[in-house]
Amino acid sequence: MENDKQKFKEQFYKRLIAFSVRTVKLCELINRKPYLRSIADQLLRSATSIGANVHEAKSSSSRRDYLRFFQIALKSANETDYWLIIIDQTTVEYKEQIASLAIELKEIANILGASVLTLKNRR
């Protein structure tokens, strides 16, 4: 059981890295359009913040601290969703990449949300 839990955590962390890398690549494309540069920057910051906060949670000093990092990661996921919607609605390009990222983001947000609820109930 504990081994399965550890495997899930490792797979989730790898998904976060892959999500960040895919977002970086999309932002590289989006940056070619001057009017979307600031939005691409916001997307890049929020999307990479998800994994960064989960990574930082690994070295947290308390359960409360650990929970806080997951809450921040969930908020970043929600912000990322917003920026993906804005980009999707302001350009006809990148639809496939945005749709794929949005699906993965929803799954990531669901995992983070469930983790936050579990951590809150264990207090």
pLDDT digits (tens, 9 = 90+) for 52-89: 999 999 999 999 999 999 999 999 999 999 999 999 99
- What mean pLDDT comes out for the span 95-123? 95
Structure token digits, residue 61: 């000093």
In the chain, where does DSSP find H-type helix?
2-30, 37-57, 63-90, 95-121
Can you give the pTM of this predicted structure? 0.93
pLDDT of residue 123: 56
* Parent domain of 59: 2-121
pLDDT of residue 2: 75
Number of domains in the chain: 1
- pLDDT confidence tier of residue 13, bands split at 50, 70 and 90: very high
- 53 contact partners, CB below 8 Å, separation of at least 6: 69, 70, 72, 73, 76
pLDDT of residue 111: 98
CB count within 10 Å of CB 111 equals: 19
Report the distance separating Cα 113 and Cα 71, nearest Å. 8
Check which CATH number belongs to the domain holding 106 and give it. Answer: 1.20.1440.60
Q: Mean pLDDT in the chain?
A: 96
Q: Is there a contact between 19 and 108 (Cβ–Cβ < 8 Å)?
A: yes
Closest residue by Cα to residue 35 from 77, 86, 101: 86
Tell me the percentage of the chain whose pLDDT exceeds 90: 94
